[in-house]
Chains A and B, each alone.
Chain A
Amino acid sequence: MASDDAHTLIQVRDVWKRYGPVSVLKGVSICLRAGQIHALLGGNGAGKSTLMKVIAGLVSPNDGTVVIGGERLERPSAAKAQRLGLYLVPQEAHIFGNQTVLENICMGLAKSPSQLRSRVIELIKQLSVSLDLDAQAATLEIADRQIVEILRGLVRQARVLILDEPTSALTPHEVEALFARMRALAAKGVGIFFISHKLREIREICHDISVLRDGAIVLSGALGDYGDDQIVTAMTRAGTGASPAASTAVNAAKGEARLVIDNLSGEGFRSVSLSLSGGEIAGLAGVVGAGRTELAETVFGLRRAHGGSISLDGKVLDKRAPARCVDAGLVYLPEDRQQYGLFLDAPLYWNASSYLMHKLPFMLSPKREREAFSRFRDAMDIKCESAEQPARRLSGGNQQKVLLAKCLAAKPKVLILDEPTRGVDVAARNDIYALVRTLAAEGVAILLISSDFDEIVHLSDRILVMAFGELEGTLPAGSSVDAIGKLAFGAREHAHV
């Protein structure tokens, strides 16, 4: 198959990908030329990551063709894509925990780690990061894992690099260094797909842009032809645009303080004090690894605190354990729903009542549990075949709704939501936002943890920013994403100096 243009590195034509009844990609066509840095934008669940996995040979499409460097990927495989000079730096780093950092970077290459060592050291210098090459990879923090992945991409001397949100865990300084590398590579003829949520970064580094929404390309062309507004509208048109300011300004904290965290320290965070009032949505922003999940897990009794106290409605919660917290009205929705949230092979009704399992009578009554589930199903518009269906077979958005149903079944007074819309499509995401607002209106105090600063701004009555294990500051509702970013990244930048 001849490519239209000798400089075309990647030509994707009319690619479809279906998971069960859900189409994640609906006839996507995109191309990448040598020396081009092509931005790919889209909301969560728009299909960006799937598209990139198709190109990298990790996922085979149901329909359509992928041509890399003039050669058609007939039976896609990662090995073949890499032989053709393509590397995907994934959003979440793949790490071999038992091997050293250097071995991790060089895994799969023809040359041995010791031969490549000097090259890797040079790249580390060019990126101006610090990394102990002989450390065991399991001990790396998330940001460093991301750097390992980026180094993997660079050391491979690929002709095509795909970077899936590479900057999410980097400091502004490191981002600058990465961009300098990307420009140098592009000047040498490397083609780069750059996936990001941050328009500012895209403006800085990219030549062209494509926007995905609900599995289809809705905007594509030279970046200079489009204004920010056009791009944002293209991304979110489906999301019924209730403007953030309008919805959040309504209720400032009015209830009394329900959850009071006083000077709490634990694994990954220290001296955190905050209070939550009934009816309030407090956003807890920060970058990955800032200690937010650790804080939530400590409050919920999953980790041991090193000091400080927590009280709920004036009563001190000591000897915390999840079951006691649930009884007291404090409920936590975990970040990783597949690993910690759902019983994937259990029926949906069983999942929905699982937080209350310790309170169920000795003789179970599936009928009553099913009825309880069907109430949630109607209220939250959970799309499923029956209450008996295993949770594994639901889409991400519906799984998340089931998880929320499980939290609500416990009748929470305080609800901690950890990344409640990760990997959730636009429609379900809006349902979840609406639900969170309704809950707050009913007097539940909500702590919303999210790395998506837009989401934080969209929902929160008050924005807390955590960085490097400490509460960096509090911002009022309607603050700009940039202001949050400054606080969230500030502390790490400090630490590097």
Chain B
Amino acid sequence: MQAFTVLEGFAAPLDRANVDTDQIIPKQYLKSIKRTGFGDYLFDAWRFTDPGKIGMTPNERSLNREFTLNQPQYQGASVLLARDNFGCGSSREHAVWALQEYGFRAVIAPSFADIFFGNCFKNGVLPIALETEIVDQLFAQVAEGLQLRVDLAAQTVTVLGADSVFAFAVDPALKQKMLSGMDDIDMTLAERTLIETFESQHRQRQPWLFRD
């Protein structure tokens, strides 16, 4: 996994609550057996006015000029500014893969859906929950060009060129994992003996759970 330490970049706004993962990456693109190739289809039904299909490039599509991510000032943004309950619905990790490949390394919102939130940390994309008032403030400034510095070690979001610094909370274990880019499976397998011991006791307690 790509480590996350400090990110400096522009923010782009998506001013809708309850954005679900079907919107982030629609189902017709989930047929791939790879982890890559999803960025071109991020927010597909909002970014384009035609129904796309797997394999089409953005150049072959009809752009929705009104959609914020298509506006010139937000090109190259690496922080997505969003609303409550971002990433709800389907567990598809493809949603995070699409955001990441498009260029987003962090999402700021007042709240996130659980499965999406966890999926972000598996891929080096940082979900940052800030209070609604602060998110409102950032939305108010974003059109003029909002340049942010996200420092995971310090747990701060700084608005560059202004004095505002916002602190955010993050689970210490997830933070460490993101900072180091450590492999989850390696970490867990380091506790192999613990798992094996538990498993044999569990088998004794509930033998019907084991078909082997």
A and B interact: no
Residue positions of B touching A, CB distance < 8 A: none
Residue positions of A touching B, CB distance < 8 A: none
